């Protein structure tokens, strides 16, 4: 069995704001093994980015409150001191972000920004060595002429190249875990596929695990082993890629599946979308958080369902009161957009 890298237990994140307490993440638990790709999927505000950033302590602040555990190789990252966490960030767990246009400092050369991360964790490395390693990394992520491009500024790179450079930066210290927060959202479709492929290939080369955060099930479809669907700060369904795509249990997952443009279905007039907007994280709806938007909501949904295994296969958990058989009968219509919320 592969080495267990990460175990998140009952993670809860709250931010105190002027309007009230924002329940950004509520009771999220999952595990991650070496070599595994975990896809976290959900709309904006579902808590997926906050979950990821909290693991690295990037959400810490006077107004933030945390509960639960993020156990990385036996060490709790939530309770860890800032100094200690610094040795984990960018070294054992690295992160790449959504918009490569703004994620790199415009006033420094790309090579310097890679070298900076290297030298932060390898105090003996000199400028010459870190630069050479930077060139090597840029080559590994497929930047042509890395020897000269290493001295370019970020604005001299295209969007896709910048995301490649960000990946190079993140992999610099050969991390155990790479967290990719919407790495393809700001890129066009052909570049998206290249970046996902690159992450998949480098994961094996660097022997890392990947947490891939996205709102697009199509993106995780290619490389994720396990998919976790989040809604309003909670996990609403989790299972293997096969389980989520072929036997989805939660109506929200159906909505996400229905919103992927597909070539193997009859052409629809317009792309399906889930009706309504995600709830405010300050005033969450009573019971199932998806109830107000769910086309199949009934009496029982005023009570919140637990995340449980409700189908025959172990490891496939969901938060929906509907009987499994009923769901299997109605979901096709929901995914293809025939059933809509009243």
Partner 1 sequence: MAAFIIRRTLGAVIVLAVVSFLTFCIFIVIPGGDPAERMAGKNATDENIANIRETWGFDQPFYVQYAKMMQNVFSGDLISYTTQQDVIAEIKRGLPATLSLAIGAAIIWLFFGVLVGVISAVTAGRWSDRGITILALIGISMPVFWLGILARYYLGPENAGIFPDGQYVPLTENPVDWFYHMILPWFVLAVLFIGFYGRVLRSNILDSINEDYVRTARAKGLNPRRVLIKHVLRNSMIPIVTLFALDFAAVIGGGAILTETVFDLQGVGQYAARSVRTLDLPPIMAVTLLGAFFIVFFNAIVDFLYAYLDPRIRPS
162 binds partner 1 (CB under 8 A): no
- Letters for 227-266 (x = contact with partner 1 by CB under 8 A, - = none) are ----------------------------------------
The yes or no reply on residue 166 touching partner 1 (CB under 8 A) is yes
Quote the tokens at residue 83: 């100094």
Strand partners, 213: 40, 181
Task: Please tell me whether residue 151 binds partner 1 under the rule CB under 8 A.
Answer: no
For position 86 contacting partner 1 by CB under 8 A, the verdict is yes
Of residues 44-73, those binding partner 1 (CB under 8 A) = 56, 58
Q: Which residue has the tokens 């299972």?
A: 239
| Lookup: tokens for 234 | 């909670």
Nearest distance from C-beta of residue 106 to partner 1, angstroms: 6
Instruction: Determine the interface stretch with partner 1 among 69-77, 97-105, 224-232, 292-300 (rule: CB under 8 A).
Output: 97-105
Strand partners, 212: 39, 180
Tell the smallest beta-carbon distance from residue 169 to partner 1 (Å): 7
Q: Which of 234, 241, 255 is nearest to 297 (CA)?
A: 255
Helix, strand, coil percentages in the chain from 3-state DSSP, rounded to 5: 35, 25, 45
Question: Does 158 help bind partner 1 (rule: CB under 8 A)?
Answer: no
Using CA atoms, how far residue 28 sits from 83, 238, 245, 289, 294, in Å, is: 25, 11, 21, 15, 22
155 binds partner 1 (CB under 8 A): yes
CB nearer to partner 1: pick between 25 and 104: 104
Nearer to partner 1 among residue 117 and residue 160 (C-beta):
117
Q: Per rule CB under 8 A, is residue 95 in the interface with partner 1?
A: yes
Least distance to partner 1 from the beta carbon of 309, Å?
35
Q: Does 324 bind partner 1 (CB under 8 A)?
A: no
If you search the block for the tokens 């496939």, which residue do you land on? 316
Q: Does 129 bind partner 1 (CB under 8 A)?
A: no
Please identify, using beta-carbon distances, which residue of 70 and 169 lies nearer to partner 1: 169
Dist CA 135 CA 311 (whole Å): 50
Size of the site for partner 1 (CB under 8 A): 28
Instruction: In angstroms, give the least distance from the CB of 114 to partner 1.
Output: 9
What residue spans of the chain are helical by DSSP H? 48-55, 82-88, 110-121, 127-140, 146-149, 159-171, 189-205, 217-223, 241-246, 251-258, 324-335
Verify binding: residue 37, partner 1, rule CB under 8 A: no
Q: In what order do the strands lie in the sheet with 64-72?
A: 20-33, 4-17, 64-72, 75-76
Rule CB under 8 A: is residue 88 a binding residue for partner 1? Answer: yes
What DSSP assignment string belongs to 20-34? Answer: EEEEEEEEEEEEEET
d(CA 65, CA 275): 32
DSSP letters of 241-289? HHHHHHS--SHHHHHHHHTS--SSSPPPSS----SS-PPPSSSPPSSST
Q: Is 164 in the site for partner 1 (CB under 8 A)?
A: no
Residue with Cβ nearer partner 1 (96 or 274) = 96
Q: Does 145 bind partner 1 (CB under 8 A)?
A: no
Selected binder of partner 1 within 74, 106, 266, 314 (CB under 8 A): 106
Kindly list the residues in this chain that would bind partner 1 in the complex (CB under 8 A): 56, 58, 82, 86-91, 94-95, 97, 99, 102-108, 116-117, 120-121, 153, 155, 166, 169
């Amino acid at each position: 069995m592969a080495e267990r890298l990460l175990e998140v237990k009952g993670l809860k994140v709250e931010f105190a704001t002027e309007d009230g307490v924002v329940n950004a993440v509520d009771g999220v638990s999952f595990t991650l093994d070496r070599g595994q790709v975990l896809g976290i999927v959900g709309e904006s505000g579902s808590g997926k980015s906050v979950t990821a950033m909290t693991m690295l302590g990037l959400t810490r602040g006077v107004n933030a409150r945390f509960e639960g555990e993020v156990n990385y190789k036996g060490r709790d990252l939530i309770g860890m001191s800032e100094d200690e966490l610094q040795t984990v960030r960018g070294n054992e767990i690295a992160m790449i972000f959504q918009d490569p246009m703004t994620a790199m400092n415009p006033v420094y050369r790309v090579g310097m920004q890679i070298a900076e991360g290297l030298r932060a964790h390898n105090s003996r490395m000199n400028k010459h060595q870190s630069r050479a390693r930077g060139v090597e990394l840029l080559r590994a992520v497929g930047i042509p002429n890395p020897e000269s491009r290493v001295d370019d500024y970020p604005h001299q790179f295209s969007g896709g190249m910048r995301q490649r450079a960000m990946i190079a930066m993140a992999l610099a210290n050969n991390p155990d875990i790479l967290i990719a927060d919407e790495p393809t959202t700001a890129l066009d479709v052909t570049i998206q596929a290249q970046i996902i492929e690159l992450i998949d290939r480098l994961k094996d080369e660097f022997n890392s695990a990947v947490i891939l955060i996205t709102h697009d099930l199509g993106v995780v479809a290619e490389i994720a082993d396990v998919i976790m669907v989040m809604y309003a700060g909670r996990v609403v369904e989790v299972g293997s890629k096969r389980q989520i795509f072929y036997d989805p249990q939660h109506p929200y997952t159906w909505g996400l599946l229905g919103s992927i443009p597909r070539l193997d279905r009859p052409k629809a007039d317009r792309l399906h979308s889930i009706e309504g907007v995600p709830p405010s994280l300050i005033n969450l709806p009573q019971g199932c958080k998806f109830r107000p938007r769910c086309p199949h909501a009934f009496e029982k949904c005023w009570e919140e369902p637990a995340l449980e295994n409700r189908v025959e296969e172990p490891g496939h958990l969901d938060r929906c009161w509907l009987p499994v058989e009923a769901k299997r009968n109605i979901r096709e219509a929901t995914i293809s957009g025939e059933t809509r919320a009243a």
